[in-house]
Amino acid sequence: MHADKAVVIGLNAAIVTVSDDQPKILVVPHEETDGASGWDALPFGPFNPVRHRTLEIGLRSWVQEQTQLELGYVEQLYTFGDRGRHSLETDAPGEHVVSVGYLALTRGYDETLKGAAWCDWYRYFPWEDWREGKPPIIDQAIVPLLREWAGRQSEAPPEELARGKRRDRMRLCFGVDDVAWDDEKALERYELLYSAGLLLEAARDGRPNARGLTGKHAPNLGRPMQFDHRRILATAMSRLRAKIKYRPVAFELMPPSFTLYELQKTVEALLGLHVHKQNFRRLVENAGLVERTGRMSTRTGGRPAEQFRFRREVLNERPAPGLKLAPSRSRANS
């Protein structure tokens, strides 16, 4: 009776760290399945309800076993009923997997991890890194392809309306016309590109692309991942970029002692944006998020910076704030 309802729960973790001013994600280079040979995967483990009382306990357990990494902050992202969206063929027949995505932060230890490796997350999302200005891939590839897609015949009857909606989606997601870039829309952008058939995952799942072509003619925007793993990663990015602004999660990625500029660099790496330096300091200090250690940084290159540490007490004072920052338009004061 329950046979067709029984499923296996898979836990996927987007484990994030920042080192050398780059946000990195732990990936398993390429998995057994041949259908997606060479495509990276997020670390994955099944949930065993007998052994682990909660999903998070189960997650921490196998991550610990497999990677020896100690996770700091852990947050549930989303539960998907269909792993690879429309292509369930890769599952074992008769077995249904529901996957629960998690975001986890860890301080970057560059240990060698058996089977897994740290990879710059912008390799999967080259359009998300605006620290050096607008990524050329947007104007060179993405926007033209999306325009084509938006102008295409739609399946649904209200022809003009559908086109207009597609155009609006593009404008809002990629900051065309005078719309501002919103770093938190990473997931929406991924989904838009997927809908438009511009990602290899979409081709894999049999969606027509912008030129109405399927399969190998799909454009290749960013590195693909197995199943819906790139989507999970996009969810993680969106969530983390949002969260950093109202909760002090950035400190989970910092060493015990750091300079304000190092903190800023970490935040910028995650947001993929530049931040106004003086205002960033003002914000961090006024919010009472840090306290001076007295020690100075011995780095070379200019006046030494003071080292700070995270003020854990903020968590008990006000409802601990985050780093509400705005991108700095000019690159002058970087």
Q: Which residues bind DNA (CB under 7 A)?
A: 259-261, 276-279, 281-283, 296-297, 299-306, 324-330, 332-333
158 interacts with a second copy by CB under 8 A: no
The single residue among 60, 131, 185, 204 that binds a second copy, judged by CB under 8 A, is: 185
Nearest-angstrom CA–CA distance, 47 and 55: 7
Backbone torsions φ then ψ of 23, nearest 5 degrees? -75, 135
Q: Which of 215, 194, 179, 193 is nearest to 137 (CA)?
A: 193
Binder of residue 182, out of a second copy, DNA, none (CB less than 5 to 8 A by kind): a second copy
Dihedral angle at the C-alpha atoms of 239, 26, 24, 322, nearest 10 degrees? 30
The single residue among 100, 198, 234, 236 that binds a second copy, judged by CB under 8 A, is: 100
Q: Does an H or E element contain 324, and which? A: none
Nearest-angstrom CA–CA distance, 165 and 168: 5
Nearest-angstrom CA–CA distance, 235 and 295: 38
Nearer Cβ to a second copy (91/148): 91
The single residue among 28, 74, 98, 143 that binds a second copy, judged by CB under 8 A, is: 98
The single residue among 39, 44, 47, 118 that binds a second copy, judged by CB under 8 A, is: 47
The single residue among 61, 78, 126, 211 that binds a second copy, judged by CB under 8 A, is: 78
168 interacts with a second copy by CB under 8 A: yes
Nearer Cβ to a second copy (88/143): 88
Amino acid letter, 76: Q
| Site size toward a second copy, by CB under 8 A | 42
Q: Other CB atoms closer than 10 Å to residue 291's CB: what's the count? A: 14
46 interacts with a second copy by CB under 8 A: yes
End-to-end CA distance of the chain: 63
Nearer Cβ to DNA (229/243): 243
Nearer Cβ to DNA (114/303): 303
Binder of residue 134, out of DNA, a second copy, none (CB less than 5 to 8 A by kind): none
Cα 141–142–143 angle (5° rounding)? 105
Task: Name the segment binding a second copy (CB under 8 A); options: 63-71, 161-169, 227-235, 253-261.
Answer: 161-169
Q: Positive or negative, the Cα torsion across 126, 131, 132, 134?
A: positive
Residue 25 and residue 233 in contact, taking contact as beta carbons nearer than 8 Å: yes
The single residue among 143, 172, 176, 305 that binds a second copy, judged by CB under 8 A, is: 172
Nearer Cβ to a second copy (46/151): 46
Paired sense of beta strands 258-259 and 290-296, if any: unpaired
Residues of this chain that bind a second copy (CB under 8 A):
2, 4-9, 46-50, 52-58, 76, 78-82, 86, 95-96, 98, 100, 164-165, 168, 171-172, 179, 182, 185, 315-316, 318-319
